[in-house]
Amino acid sequence: MANLNDSIQSLQEKLQLLLKRFALLEKENQQLKNSLNHQKEATDLVEQQLKDQQTQWAASMVNKPNMDPAEKDKLIKKIDQYIKEIDASIKNLNP
């Protein structure tokens, strides 16, 4: 009987250790998820800034006086695409 009680006690101790480890892993997992979300937000911000800069550059190129008409049309289409992407992003932010 003492051997059975010792086995149960040992099993309970191991179970407690596993539960503590599980709680620590859950906490670490949540921290990693939060970190990933912050990095994703930062990446999204940088991507949006890049698109804004590209749009500004394309707009400045359209106003260039000696631009080839075909190139100007190409840039206008590019600007229109940027605007569509921005509108889609705004639409996704406001469901």
* d(C-alpha 31, C-alpha 34), whole Å: 5
pTM value?
Answer: 0.53
CB 82 within 8 A of CB 47: no
**What number is the average pLDDT over the span 62-72?**
73
Q: Is the pLDDT of residue 95 over 60?
A: no
Q: pLDDT tens digits for 27-52?
A: 999 999 999 889 988 888 888 888 88
Residues 74-88: pLDDT tens digits? 878 888 888 888 878
